[in-house]
Structure 1
Amino acid sequence: MIIEKQWHQVKNVLQEVLDNAFSIDKNATTEFDSLLSIDEIDALGYARNFPHLTCVMCSIEDGELLNFSKGKSRLDHDFKKLDVGMALLPATCYKVYLGLMNSSIEAPYIESCIARCFRHEDKALDNYRAFNFTMKEYVYLGEGESAQAHLDRGYERISALLDQLGITVSCELANDPFFDTSSSVARLSTLTPTKREIVFQGHAVSSLNYHRNYFGEKFNITHGSGFIHTSCVAFGLERWIAMFEEHFGDAAKTLAALATIH
């Protein structure tokens, strides 16, 4: 999705509105890069659960460089001689957990973060769905009960915000699109759903995710005597802009509506 002119301003104002809704100081957000090492994507288990969505960054093999410089080779669908150097970030919150690996937090807290994310979507692309997008997240790290409370508060804040804007949405249970639905992680997700989505006219624009102590245990992140529990409220900013465009019609009307939020 190309964000042009005033819509770029909408994107910036939207971030400020969301920070205010979640009581986050405007200078407290961390912006992450979009790269993961091969070891990091492997440690996350993302390619195991979602190989169809995984994106990697490749370079042309050294032995092929001369052929390209002489015009004998070119990039096309048949060219396979590539070196996989890095993976591309599929979700912003992964950077938070990787950064805390083998550590202990002194007290529960909420991390505000944003990054450009990439997924090799297997569904039709449109204004809502793209291979790359901006994901802003509010990640809670601490105890189980409070992790779930963070999501409940997040839902209330999103609902209040959209009510003020006059936008009608629904909240629906959702499951991540596991490639192998018979895997243990996929089965657990189906048996005890931990993801809800805020849906506008059939399009998910935000998600509320409870990870239990999955990332705490996987990356040895502790609080007190146990592994931390985590949850996150995530916003696809381009999806919100697409929603605003459908609802308000243009950027100027959207900015005027956002200015009324209190």
Structure 2
Amino acid sequence: MTRTTSNTTGPDRLAALHRIGLSWQPAGQAALRGPLLRLAEDCDRAFVRLASLWDAEEERHPASLPAERLQQVGYLTSFPHQATFVARLSPEESNIDAFLAGPVMDADGRVELSGLSPVTEVLTPAACYHLYSGHQGEVLDQALYLTTRNTCFRQETHYVPLRRLSSFTMREIVCVGTAGETAAFLDEARTALDLFFGLIDLDLDWLAATDPFFRPEDNPRHLLQRVQPVKYEATYGGDLAIASVNRHHDHFGSGFGLTRDGRAADSCCAAFGLERWLFALTDRHGLDPTSWPALEDAATTVLTKLRGGAA
């Protein structure tokens, strides 16, 4: 049974979070320091520890992807409302002079742009896109297990401290392989996460979900996800997804030319939103760092139990 939680970030709670390290920007961004930053890093180390269950290889990627790469899997037509584009002034000296001759910024804080260079990059919308793009065209002779962390960017209608952000930190663990290999990964991930949740005394419900498509009623992929769920979210307090497991079938394998056993590879992932974890942990365990669970120790215990020996 799910515990009753506050599920809010009102002025009093926001002030308390500020005292332990949160600086909130109304544009939907959070800066962390002190205890909250240490808790975020503790979370990430625990997720990396869980990734070692599959010996997942760590990768590091930049802040943006080529728009043409994302469109290979239809991102811009499925999620145009959430995309954040990389824009710059066209570098001609006359264009820069025109920008400098203007007000540069109006009274409402909006930049008065002159001509822009062609937009070819999109800020990272989900950490795993880099993994599929980075391995484009590979022929796999065994399942590929990867993990990465990135700052992700999504436009939303509103923002709530630690719960809904325009830029946030995502850790992902990915499996690329056969349908059987990815199904096994998802089963193992759910088992590992359920053990982990219990060890840190965090009540979460797995709920079927769909991706936030633009005009979902007109998108065949949304309709298919409703009929055959491929996304399940670990939800805190009834409405806050802090982790998810996602089955992509061969969507990314086909889009990026990844093959396994002579056909387009399947893929799946487990994803964690670190800022949302900060909300859930401080809501459940309080704002005193001495009351927070030992996350990496819990992850190590999960590995020991699932491997049947020393982790």
**TM-score, normalized by length of structure 2?**
0.77
Which of 64, 72, 90 is the equivalent residue of 2:103? 72
Aligned twin of 1:148:
183
Aligned twin of 1:187:
223
1:97-136 alignment to 2 at 5 Å?
97-136=132-171
CA distance in 1, matches of 2:144, 2:53: 11
CA distance in 1, matches of 2:200, 2:256: 40
Which structure 1 residue ranges, 4+ long, deviate > 6 Å from structure 2? none
Aligned twin of 2:82:
53
User: Could you say which structure has the larger radius of gyration?
Assistant: 2
CA distance in 2, matches of 1:25, 1:226: 23
CA distance in 1, matches of 2:250, 2:127: 18
**TM-score, normalized by length of structure 1?**
0.91
Aligned twin of 1:200:
236
- 1:111-167 Cα shifts (integer Å, max 9, x gaps): 111111111112443321101111111100111122122112111211111111111
CA contact (8 A) 1:16 1:26 kept: no
Note if 1:167 corresponds to 2:202: yes
Note if 1:209 corresponds to 2:238: no
Specify every segment of 5 or more residues in structure 2 that has no aligned partner in the other structure, as ranges. Answer: 1-29, 302-311
Which of 43, 46, 56 is the equivalent residue of 2:72? 43
Specify every segment of 5 or more residues in structure 1 that has no aligned partner in the other structure, as ranges. Answer: none
CA distance in 1, matches of 2:85, 2:179: 33
Deviation of residue 93 (structure 1)?
0.9
Deviation of residue 251 (structure 1)?
5.7
Name the aligned partner's letter for residue 17 of structure 1: A
Deviation of residue 49 (structure 1)?
0.3
* Percent identity (aligned): 23
- 1:31-67 Cα shifts (integer Å, max 9, x gaps): 2112111222222311100110111011123454213
Name the aligned partner's letter for residue 150 of structure 1: F
CA distance in 1, matches of 2:98, 2:127: 38
Q: Which segment drifts farther, 20-29 or 234-243?
A: 20-29
CA contact (8 A) 2:186 2:245 kept: yes
Q: How many residues align?
A: 262
